[in-house]
Amino acid sequence: MTMDRRQALKTLGQACAGTATAAATVGTSGTAEAASGGPYPDASPGAVGMLFDTTRCIGCKACVVACSEANDLVPDTVLANGLWQMPMDLNARTANIIKLYKEEDEDAVGGEYSYVKRQCMHCVDPACVASCPFKALTKDPENGIVMWEASQCIGCRYCEVACPFEVPKFEWEDFNPRIVKCQLCSHRLPEGLEPACCEVCPTDAVIFGAREDLLKDAKSRIAAKPEVYYEQKVYGEREGGGTQVLYLSHVPFTAIGLPDLPDESIAWYGTWVHGIIYKWLLIPMIVYGVMAAIIRKRWHHHEEEAREQAKKTGLPQQI
């Protein structure tokens, strides 16, 4: 889908009108539920996702290679002088990465460690979608995949800031930059293929499926070996309103870089805060009122000075 100037202006107009309406709605109802799926959103029935299990990952990085091949991403060799594909984090050339957590104490022999695969979490209620002013980021209503559409993107990078998992990455070095993130290989799914990372994983550490099935699978794994899994919890079932990519871990989730999020939807929280700020447009009006009063006062002062000056010098007032 491409967008011309007329359409862009139309979208902007609609967005402005929408903001005004939302403000009015917020004003009347006092909640932000109209703008988001509420604090505890439900995943769509057809939601697909992935399940990653740290106890199964052997750190072979086959998924890293497969991902860049499947998504036509040029391997990031900047830090390795062209020797290896060696990204240090998700970036504009890396939509999927394997990282390593090691226990802080370096003297510990056989200390705890874990590999972790990081990519887009495909949130049930994504903050990036909520923050995007132009609908460049959209969530598929059926399978729930969060997609980025080039022609709609204005490059504001709000999504980068909004994402609690630090996933969307901006292509700084490119003249026509993109936002790069995992799109769950949505170009492969219609061909009956799994996401590339799930296809190549030799230990099924990451598997693809319907979110419901994955959740069941995860819970049965916990039930089979409750002592292995940290807090007997599936990360992503409820965190930040729930994600479609789920994690099982034998180490604390924060250790493998998954933030400790409340159960409330991040997107809902953001809209809720905005709801308070813009309630009846009260706070903006107060702020603007105070500013106007200050300017008005200063203006009077300035006029008086100018008049005095004119009297003294005989020259006309210069304001």
For residue 125, give the 3-state DSSP assignment.
Answer: coil
**Backbone phi, then psi, for 51, in 5-degree steps?**
-125, 120
Q: How far apart (Å, rounded) are the C-alpha atoms in residues 70 and 191?
A: 13
Please calculate the CA angle 96-62-43 and round it to the nearest 5 degrees. Answer: 45
Nearest distance in Å: CB 75, other proteins? 5
By CB under 8 A, the residues from 20 to 59 that bind other proteins are 59
**How many residues form the binding site for other proteins (CB under 8 A)?**
30
Report strand pairing: 97-102 vs 48-53.
unpaired
Nearest distance in Å: CB 97, other proteins? 7
Residue 318 binding other proteins, by CB under 8 A? no
User: Contact letters (x/-) for other proteins, 280-309, by CB under 8 A?
Assistant: -----------------------------x
| Tokens linked to 47 | 């939601």
Contact present, 270 and 130 (Cβ < 8 Å): yes
- Buried residues in 292-312 as b, exposed as e (16+ CB within 10 A): eeeeeeeeeeeeeeeeeeeee
By CB under 8 A, the residues from 55 to 94 that bind other proteins are 59, 61, 64-65, 75, 77, 80, 82-89
Burial class (CB in 10 A: 0-12, 13-18, 19+), 133: middle
Nearest distance in Å: CB 263, other proteins? 23
Residue 190 binding other proteins, by CB under 8 A? no
**How far, in Å, are 78, 156, 247 from residue 173 at the CA level?**
12, 15, 32
Q: How far apart (Å, rounded) are the C-alpha atoms in residues 34 and 313?
A: 63
**How far, in Å, are 51, 90, 143, 251 from residue 204 at the CA level?**
9, 22, 22, 19
Residue 220 binding other proteins, by CB under 8 A? no
List the one residue out of 144, 145, 149 whose CA is nearest residue 134: 149
Is the CB of 38 or the CB of 59 nearer to other proteins? 59
For residue 247, give the 3-state DSSP assignment.
Answer: strand
Is the CB of 41 or the CB of 59 nearer to other proteins? 59
Is the CB of 84 or the CB of 280 nearer to other proteins? 84
Nearest distance in Å: CB 254, other proteins? 9
Residue 181 binding other proteins, by CB under 8 A? no
Find the binder of other proteins among 26, 98, 120, 137 (CB under 8 A): 98
Find the binder of other proteins among 57, 70, 95, 115 (CB under 8 A): 115
Nearest distance in Å: CB 89, other proteins? 4
Find the binder of other proteins among 109, 224, 295, 315 (CB under 8 A): 315
Q: How far apart (Å, rounded) are the C-alpha atoms in residues 199 and 191?
A: 13
Is the CB of 28 or the CB of 203 nearer to other proteins? 203
Is the CB of 93 or the CB of 211 nearer to other proteins? 93
Q: Which positions lie near other proteins, rule CB under 8 A?
A: 59, 61, 64-65, 75, 77, 80, 82-89, 97-102, 115-116, 255-257, 309, 312-313, 315
